[in-house]
A and B are shown apart, each in its own frame.
Chain A
């Protein structure tokens, strides 16, 4: 089990819990309880029930015929975009809200980039009648207006993060500061980032994606393993979920796609594995974008969900150990991939997921190669961006 974390939350040299003493009791409480809760029958029953009847799982595994023809492979789309609230994020929020309830917490805080995690958190808080505060960068509030409106309608308070680049990193800083000041709250992290046990807990909750993939592939192809899995990576939760049950099986090629923004070396990019090196961010030792003095560099991507200067410690380890191949896609490549999928398959993907699709033209595939692309979210929230660039 090379890709499971140690007791202290380390994947190789990455992970751990680099938190101020002020957060120690909260993180310790979670660390001591999360596995017990996740593995309990009560949790499993409730989690599975909600995933089926509330989220609409299992999400379909769709053989994209025209896309397959175009790229000369057998391409399946794992349709996380069809989940309630429009992305894979809800798998995690359903699970964590149940964990929070088991711990007796009544107030939930979260950070959000594209707003998908914020919406998914506000949704489960409405469902469970819990108070919800979502931190969101001021820049992201502007570029993801529909999701801000949804969160407010769901009863969440949206607090703008006004420091730094006013995006996901800064929203996470603000959420952590609020948590320090209000230790009775439960911090519902949206990705496989943050101090241990969050990366492991979120990966376990997103693992339902690859669990279903196995059964669905078996049914549709006769084999539970694909040749290749492709997923986009910002913090990395959808990729962690899509890779999870295949991590130890090196016959399955794993491809993580980062956002290159205007180009990896343009100075406007979020391709952390290419531009970053080892450091500590948001409580975790990982790869991050920083200058020579350890100041964190502001990332850039057209996609608010990938606009993050770090990456989850599991992914840092997958990169270092070469278990996963790290590719990247520029804003333009992602937009083109989104327009293409819309035209030939009738599916409008989220900008984040479009990055995963965007590497298809760069790959050398065989006709019978079975490829699963994790279509992590739908594009409703990105319509304004899509329309703007379509006209341009």
Chain B
């Protein structure tokens, strides 16, 4: 598996795809990762399905519920990711909720990430103060890095702090929103992207939430280093399954 920072130095306009592990079928993880890699996706976010995903809209909620009904759990995800570790070269990022980490055991969770070659995690409900007080040290111990989210309402002072804590990238939430495709990017959002860009941060910026097609992806890339597509991809998977992945990615860029 390549490192995220290698990809960041090699390429521009990065395309990342989020999918929920265990959706549409329990054993689709390996197939989805390899299809995405072959289609030229630059890095992949693997979502750990959660019963109460507060930051997610209806599409990802539904996919999480189906994945859980399919019997997906953290042991199975880690087992699946370990299996593909040798063949997969595209960097993987793990996205889940803090309670999953707490219950699994913080150290055990980190060890499992390392065993799968994962170096980056996104926990949208991990607040910065908890990171500073506890998780920073824990993650450092295992060589893991955490991705912080920023929104149009995040203050400049806080963004500067997040920039200093960031090793991988900053997740730029496109609007005050939960996940879910909106179809277009407004002038207000563009103003926000420009404001962030003008701050001249050291970290790479990846835009997410509301990126769904070629148009929104291209617009986001004008202001950031790349973008993440989640809900729109889940919708595509729900309709056409794994076989539709290549066409979907080609339609984005």
Contacts and interface: CB of A to CB of B under 8 A. Distances in A.
B103 A20 contact: no
Contact of A294 (B103, B128, B151, B173): B103
A279 to B, nearest CB: 5
B142 interface: no
A180 B124 CA distance: 12
A17 B154 contact: no
A18 B154 contact: no
A16 B177 CA distance: 23
A264 interface: no
A292 B102 CA distance: 11
Most buried by B among A16, A20, A25, A296: A20
B98 A296 contact: no
Nearest to A8: B129
B149 A21 contact: yes
B98 A22 contact: no
A183 B176 CA distance: 7
B219 interface: no
B203 interface: no
Given A280-B99, A293-B103, A183 B153 contact: yes
Contacts of A173: 52, 54
Contacts of B98: 18, 280
Contact of B178 (A16, A180, A292): A180
A158 B15 CA distance: 40
A176 interface: yes
Contact of A18 (B100, B127, B177): B127
Interface string B71-92: 0011100000000000000000
B37 to A, nearest CB: 27
A347 interface: no
B212 interface: no
A79 interface: no
A182 B150 CA distance: 16
Contact of A295 (B51, B127, B128): B51
B103 A292 contact: yes
A132 B65 CA distance: 30
Given A19-B127, A279-B99, A295 B50 contact: yes
A180 B177 contact: yes
A183 B54 CA distance: 15
Nearest to B53: A173
Interface in A193-228: none
B161 to A, nearest CB: 12
B148 interface: yes
A313 B69 CA distance: 30
A293 B74 contact: yes
Contacts of A278: 102
Residue of A16, A21, A177, A277 with most chain B CB atoms under a 10 A cut-off: A21
Contact of B100 (A164, A281, A294): A294
B176 A181 contact: yes
A368 B128 CA distance: 53
B155 interface: yes
A369 interface: no
B240 to A, nearest CB: 25
Contacts of B148: 21
Interface residues of A, number: 34
Given A18-B98, A164-B51, A180-B178, A293 B73 contact: yes
Contacts of B102: 278-280, 294
A87 B39 CA distance: 59
Nearest to B153: A25
A378 interface: no
A44 interface: no
B55 A24 contact: no
Contacts of A277: 103
Interface string B85-119: 00000000000011111111000000000000000
Contacts of A19: 125, 127
A22 B124 CA distance: 9
Nearest to B76: A293
Interface string A149-177: 00000000000000110000100010011
Given A22-B176, A295-B68, A281 B129 contact: no
A187 to B, nearest CB: 13
Contact of B99 (A169, A176, A182, A290): A290
A164 B52 contact: yes
Contacts of B75: 293
Contacts of A280: 97-99, 102, 125
Given A18-B127, A21-B127, 20 more contacts: A8-B129, A16-B130, A17-B127, A20-B54, A20-B124, A21-B148, A21-B151, A21-B173, A22-B153, A24-B127, A163-B65, A173-B54, A177-B57, A177-B178, A180-B54, A280-B97, A280-B102, A282-B54, A294-B100, A296-B99
26 contacts: A16-B127, A17-B127, A18-B127, A18-B130, A19-B127, A21-B149, A22-B55, A22-B149, A22-B177, A24-B127, A25-B153, A164-B51, A180-B54, A181-B176, A181-B178, A288-B99, A290-B99, A293-B75, A293-B103, A294-B100, A294-B101, A294-B103, A294-B104, A295-B50, A295-B68, A295-B100
Ordered nearest first, which 10 A-B pairs have the shortest CB separation?
A294-B103, A295-B51, A294-B100, A21-B149, A294-B99, A25-B153, A280-B99, A293-B73, A296-B51, A20-B124
